[in-house]
Amino acid sequence: MFTSGQFNEFQNRVQEVIHAAQNRATARAKEFESEARKLFDLVGDRAQVELKSFLAGAKTDTRESVLNLGVEIEKLGKRLQEIARAAAEPLPNGKDEAASSGHQPPTA
């Protein structure tokens, strides 16, 4: 068995080893933290620049898309008005266009 002196010496040695390991782990963690902060700053700056460019692009793309959509809706509206006018006009001979052309309208 151990004597009390040996046990105290062993206990002190274990505490020293644990304390040294904690110090090394703390120093290594600080190194990792420092490197991570540098990397975060570098990536963070790049990400902010990219985010700003994406937002600017989205604003212009959205405006252009809405403008194009408006133009297409206007064209569609005009085409629908033409179709409505054509449908409302009577044919010169009084017959339906489908009957006069010999084509039958599609059935479901």
- Residue-wise pLDDT for 32-88, tens only, equals 888 878 877 877 777 777 777 777 776 777 777 778 878 888 988 888 888 888 887
Q: At 102, phi and psi to the nearest 5?
A: 85, 0
Distance between terminal CA atoms of the chain?
A: 100
**pTM metric for this prediction:** 0.38
Amino acid residing at 91: L
**Using 50, 70 and 90 to split pLDDT, how confident is the model at 100?**
low
Q: At 17, phi and psi to the nearest 5?
A: -65, -45
Structure token pair of residue 69? 């959509």
Sign of the torsion formed by the C-alpha atoms of 42, 43, 45 and 50: positive
